[in-house]
Amino acid sequence: MSRNHSAPRPDVGAPFVEGLRQGRLMLQFDRSNGRAQFYPRPQSLYGEAGVTWREASGRAMLFAMTLSRVAPPHLADALPYVLALVQLDEGPRLLARIDAPPGQLAIGQRLVVDWRHPDSGTFPVFKPAD
């Protein structure tokens, strides 16, 4: 007979998801040195002091991008769209859709989160900052 000795863990990403529902980009920060991390984890990547949740600035830099011609059903009307790796000003990188034609984007370009998109699903959409 097999026994499972691990207790159920709370969903460590719940504050991130709840923030998305509220139009807030929430990140975990190390309690001792203030470094941000993404994706949500049960402990800090940078020390043993644990993590706390804070709202991110929503500012980022375009790190890499591609033009997506395949989409989940809720984005089918947006095809083609720019899918990008954005580096948040707080440090972590995340994958996000960019609301701009690819010809108007450049690696290193400044971006801001844009919460006005009902088709964004459960992840933020970014747009050029200028």
Domain edges within the chain: 14-55, 59-128
- CATH top class, domain 59-128: mainly beta
Higher pLDDT, 36 or 5: 36
Per-residue pLDDT of 31-90, as tens digits, reads 999 999 999 999 999 988 899 999 999 999 999 999 999 988 878 888 899 999 999 999
pLDDT band, residue 8 (cuts 50/70/90)? low
The model's pTM: 0.85
Cα–Cα distance for residue pair 84/6, rounded to 1 Å: 37
pLDDT in tens, 14-32: 999 899 888 899 999 999 9
CA dihedral 87, 91, 94, 96 (to 10 degrees): -40
